[in-house]
Amino acid sequence: MKKLLAFIAVIGLGVLIILALDNNYQFPAFGHAYLPSRVSEHYITKGSNVDIIFGQTLNPESGPANIVTSIVVDYRSFDTLGEVTVLFISALGVSLLLGSAVTQKRLELEFKPNFMLRVGSRALFGIIIMTGVYVTLHGHLTPGGGFPGGTMIASAMLLLYLADDQFRAKIKSFKILEGVAGSLYVIIGLIGLIVGTYFLSNFLDNGVVGDLLSSGIIPIVYILIGLKVGSEISGMIDNFLTEEEVK
């Protein structure tokens, strides 16, 4: 009875929200919003008066063909640095809580991986890691980028942990990789400050929109973010799946 009342309340509220949004003059129909009134027009047109054509336009103000990347890693790259720092702090918190013991061993769970899980995970591991690398490398051309790509690489690691209940990754090298990638991001920003005019400015040539090797430092920064996020979340998974060794 209580459940039924709660369900009716949820459905009622959902309908109310949909109706309130549907008949509101401030909430235009889907696909009919006038974009320059919400996002600065400068970011959409990349500051040029002529149209940006995929595969033809040479050296625009901002290189990436994917407009989300051009905002996230070019115009607002400093925000992304902060985002990476937030992820770093949360990984730090997890490792302080769960991974502070000197010797760690794998968590003993009451489930043993069977034959299908072991073989299937080994087969899928390569495909998932290839997808992760692809998404990271093509971050400036297609949807995706460093964050989803890095997380895909980490979920491939999770699959390896699932497939073998004795497996442990070399977590020390992951920590080193994470530190190096994070520092290189800041160093690239500082080079931009020295060579260009501001922190994280794009000091390389932008090239043709749509080429794999284009848009200056953005692919480099996205590869660094992918490495950092991937190794960070792999370390987090290792912390979750290990426990203190009792002697």
Query: SS3 for 28?
Result: coil
Output 217 or 237, the one with its CB closest to another protein. Answer: 237
Site for another protein in 66-105 (CB under 8 A): 66, 68
Give the nearest distance from C-beta 50 to another protein in angstroms: 25
Q: Is 107 in the site for another protein (CB under 8 A)?
A: yes
Tokens of 150: 């890095």
C-alpha–C-alpha distance, residues 97 and 55, integer Å: 49
Give the nearest distance from C-beta 155 to another protein in angstroms: 5
Q: Is 158 in the site for another protein (CB under 8 A)?
A: yes
Query: SS3 for 6?
Result: helix
Site for another protein in 217-236 (CB under 8 A): 233
Can you tell me which of 148, 160, 184, 220 binds another protein, judged by CB under 8 A? 148
Mark out the alpha helices in 201-242 (DSSP H runs): 218-240
Q: Is 172 in the site for another protein (CB under 8 A)?
A: no
Q: Is 151 in the site for another protein (CB under 8 A)?
A: yes
Give the nearest distance from C-beta 81 to another protein in angstroms: 18
Output 96 or 190, the one with its CB closest to another protein. Answer: 96
Q: Is 152 in the site for another protein (CB under 8 A)?
A: yes
Q: Is 145 in the site for another protein (CB under 8 A)?
A: yes
C-alpha–C-alpha distance, residues 165 and 173, integer Å: 21
Output 35 or 187, the one with its CB closest to another protein. Answer: 35
Can you tell me which of 84, 154, 217, 221 binds another protein, judged by CB under 8 A? 154
Output 216 or 238, the one with its CB closest to another protein. Answer: 238
Q: Residue 175: what residue type?
A: K
- Tell me the C-alpha to C-alpha distance, in Å, between residue 118 and each of 123, 159, 187, 233: 9, 9, 41, 22
Q: Is 75 exposed, middle or buried (0-12, 13-18, 19+ CB in 10 A)?
A: middle
Tokens of 57: 């336009």
- At residue 217, what are phi and psi to the nearest 5 degrees? -80, -5
Residue 74's DSSP bridge partners are none
DSSP code per residue over 118-166 = HHHHHHHHHHHHHHHHHHHHTTTTSS--HHHHHHHHHHHHHHHHHH-TT
Q: Is 237 in the site for another protein (CB under 8 A)?
A: yes
Residues that bind another protein (CB under 8 A): 3, 6-7, 10-11, 14, 18, 30, 66, 68, 107-111, 135, 143-145, 147-148, 151-152, 154-155, 158, 233, 237, 240-241, 243
